[in-house]
């Protein structure tokens, strides 16, 4: 990295590398797109290297000033939208992009095909390299139709491979302290940094006297992919167990391979008239869905952060979340919502009833607590942190929780090793 890369007022040229990127709908894709837009808005040159979302040769396009290099890709047959770039088809294109763009920093979002290729090539060229991990092996296990003993082997190999690929990077981050601790427990060094994915909080706040209609039914909201690991079936079952006098409805904003099975489940449990499948909704409609909900629920058990939960909290909604992965860091029992035992529909129904049966002023209080808690996840703060990481500012440090024997200790870790 050249000396003037560290000059605070010099615009940077950043190459973001994403295994999944819009039009894909998931947290990692959303983060990559938000980061690209945020960097561009601050005057930096931003290029994104990602898979082409359909068949065809590699191509270059522009999205609001962000240059996208879409590489030739192939459908992964066990996944509804994930695309694979074969190394022998894209290696030359990757080298050409690096030759043309000449980035100050390469920021990869995954250790799979594109990530590993860019880490290797960037290090060979002496380009500063940053990695953010959005992945745990459980994310892909529902799409691997193999026996459990094979999955156990896959988990072990996947973690070792991730350590090897990301070990060549200058800085490695993950969205939450819990994600960092998970990575350390699988062989990563204690220099991995927690940096929130961040959200634009103002995008989800109510405007002025904006209020939902008083005559609407009590509403539970889930947003996200209708995928196995999201456990939406547990949420539908919980809806069927709620007291009849609550007359609660469930809105599901999102789509996915589990939708037909979930529709059948709702019919079988006799709640089809109270389960509303909204499908994919644009941002303005999603914001409206957050604001009209009485409570947001995330029953998933493979969340490294859950951007949709942060969005609901920014909209001042109480939350009921599975007590798994990073979700316990977002809900405090009785303060801004409740945690429930993962997979336990009866416990989930009980927690939802505590919110839905509470007086309106109590729900409003819990919503205010959610909004207060989400402040630390503001996207401007995330953007500032990554810019410091990109520039390698040595004076700045981050407090990073580190796991000791039976307790947590805190150490100061420089942004530059």
Strand 83-84 relative to strand 74-75: parallel, antiparallel, unpaired?
antiparallel
Domains in the chain: how many in total?
A: 2
The 8 Å CB, 24+ separation contacts for 224-227 are 224/253, 224/254, 224/298, 224/300, 224/308, 225/25, 225/26, 225/254, 225/255, 225/256, 226/252, 226/254, 226/255, 226/256, 226/257, 226/258, 226/259, 226/262, 227/142, 227/256, 227/257, 227/258
Q: Is the pLDDT of residue 399 over 60?
A: no
Tell me: do 389 and 366 sit in the same domain.
Answer: no
Q: Is the pLDDT of residue 415 over 50?
A: no
Tell me what pLDDT residue 177 has. 84
Residue 236 sits in a domain whose CATH number is 3.40.50.2000
Average confidence (pLDDT) over 48-59: 94
Average confidence (pLDDT) over 143-161: 69
Tell me: do 106 and 45 sit in the same domain.
Answer: yes
Tell me: do 77 and 177 sit in the same domain.
Answer: yes
Confidence of residue 136 (pLDDT cuts 50, 70, 90): low
Tell me what pLDDT residue 45 has. 97
Tell me what pLDDT residue 14 has. 98
Tell me what pLDDT residue 138 has. 62
Tell me what pLDDT residue 111 has. 87
Q: Which tens digits make up the pLDDT trace of 244-278?
A: 999 999 999 999 889 999 999 999 999 999 999 99
Q: Which tens digits make up the pLDDT trace of 85-101?
A: 999 999 999 999 999 99
Q: Which tens digits make up the pLDDT trace of 377-392?
A: 889 999 999 999 999 8
Tell me what pLDDT residue 409 has. 29
Tell me: do 133 and 183 sit in the same domain.
Answer: yes
Q: Is the pLDDT of residue 7 over 70?
A: no
Tell me: do 180 and 46 sit in the same domain.
Answer: yes
Tell me what pLDDT residue 180 has. 87
Tell me: do 190 and 218 sit in the same domain.
Answer: no
Tell me what pLDDT residue 325 has. 78
Tell me what pLDDT residue 397 has. 43
Tell me what pLDDT residue 401 has. 39
Q: Is the pLDDT of residue 135 over 90?
A: no
Tell me: do 140 and 7 sit in the same domain.
Answer: yes
Tell me: do 19 and 157 sit in the same domain.
Answer: yes
Q: Is the pLDDT of residue 335 over 60?
A: yes
Tell me: do 78 and 168 sit in the same domain.
Answer: yes
Q: Which of the pair, 270 or 408, is modelled with greater confidence? A: 270
Tell me what pLDDT residue 27 has. 79
Q: Is the pLDDT of residue 301 over 60?
A: yes
Tell me: do 41 and 118 sit in the same domain.
Answer: yes
Tell me: do 105 and 208 sit in the same domain.
Answer: no
Tell me what pLDDT residue 179 has. 81
Tell me: do 123 and 267 sit in the same domain.
Answer: no
What percent of the chain stands above pLDDT 70?
85
The domain in which residue 405 lies consists of 3-198+378-414
Q: 402: which strand partners?
A: 409
């Amino acid at each position: 990295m050249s000396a003037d890369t560290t000059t605070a007022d010099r615009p940077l040229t950043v190459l973001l590398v994403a295994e999944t990127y819009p039009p894909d709908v998931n947290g990692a894709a959303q983060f990559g797109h938000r980061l690209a837009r945020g960097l561009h808005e601050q005057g930096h040159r931003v290029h994104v290297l990602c898979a082409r979302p359909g068949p065809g040769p590699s191509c270059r396009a522009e999205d609001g000033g962000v240059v996208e290099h879409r590489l030739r890709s192939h459908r992964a047959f066990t996944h509804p939208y994930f695309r694979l770039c074969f190394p022998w088809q894209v290696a030359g294109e990757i080298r050409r992009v690096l030759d043309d763009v000449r980035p100050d920093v390469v920021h990869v979002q995954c250790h799979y095909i594109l990530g590993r290729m860019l880490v290797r090539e960037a290090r060979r060229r002496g380009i500063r390299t940053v990695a953010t991990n959005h992945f745990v092996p459980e994310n892909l296990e529902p799409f691997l139709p193999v026996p459990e003993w094979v999955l156990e082997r896959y988990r072990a190999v996947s973690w070792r491979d991730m350590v090897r690929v990301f070990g060549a990077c200058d800085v490695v981050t993950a969205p939450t302290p819990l994600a960092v601790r998970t990575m350390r427990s699988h062989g990563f060094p204690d220099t991995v940094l927690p940096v929130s994915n961040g959200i634009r909080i103002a995008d989800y706040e109510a405007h002025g006297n904006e209020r939902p209609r008083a005559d609407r039914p009590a509403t539970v909201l889930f947003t996200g992919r209708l995928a196995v690991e999201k456990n939406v079936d547990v949420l539908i079952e919980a809806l069927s167990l709620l007291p009849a006098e609550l007359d609660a409805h469930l809105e599901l904003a999102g789509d996915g391979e589990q939708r037909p099975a979930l529709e059948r489940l709702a019919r079988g449990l006799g709640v089809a008239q109270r389960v509303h499948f909204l499908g994919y909704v644009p941002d303005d409609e999603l914001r409206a869905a957050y604001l009209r909900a009485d409570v947001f629920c995330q029953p998933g058990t493979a969340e490294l952060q859950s951007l949709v939960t942060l969005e609901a909290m920014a909209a001042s909604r109480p939350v009921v979340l599975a007590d798994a992965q990073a979700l316990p860091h977002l809900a405090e029992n009785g303060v801004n919502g409740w945690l429930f035992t993962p997979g336990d529909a009866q416990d989930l129904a009980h927690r939802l009833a505590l919110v839905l049966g509470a007086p309106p002023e109590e729900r409003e209080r819990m919503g205010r607590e959610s909004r207060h808690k989400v402040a630390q996840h503001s996207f401007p703060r995330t953007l500032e942190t990554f810019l410091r990481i990109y520039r390698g500012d040595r004076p700045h440090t981050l407090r990073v929780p580190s796991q000791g024997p039976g307790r947590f200790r805190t150490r100061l870790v420089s942004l530059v090793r």
